[in-house]
């Protein structure tokens, strides 16, 4: 895991096409601005975990179908 320190207005770039910028800091909360291609889904961690818990991955569906 990579851990970075950034200030408001600074950003990190992931895989050349995803940009995460620190939009603001209010108390213990950090506001992020994320720019990514429309084919890359972006979810908060808790939403992603919930979606994974209640859905079957397409790869598994393909295996079941065989």
> Maximum Cα–Cα distance for the chain, whole Å?
53
Arithmetic mean of pLDDT, 30-58: 85
The pTM score is: 0.72
Work out the mean pLDDT of the chain and round it to a whole number.
87
Task: Indicate whether 47 pLDDT > 70.
Answer: yes
pLDDT tens profile 3-29: 999 999 999 999 999 999 999 999 999
Element (H, E) at 33: strand 29-35
DSSP 22: E
Helix, strand, coil percent values for the chain (each to nearest 5)? 25, 30, 40
| Whole-number pLDDT of residue 43 | 87
Helices and strands of the chain, counted as H and E runs: 2, 3
């Amino acid at each position: 895991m990579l851990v970075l320190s950034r200030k408001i207005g600074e950003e990190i770039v992931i895989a050349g096409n995803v940009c995460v910028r620190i939009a603001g800091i209010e108390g213990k909360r950090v506001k992020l601005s994320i720019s990514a291609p429309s084919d890359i889904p972006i979810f908060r961690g808790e939403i992603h975990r919930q979606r994974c818990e209640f859905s079957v991955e397409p790869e598994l569906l393909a295996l079941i179908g065989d």
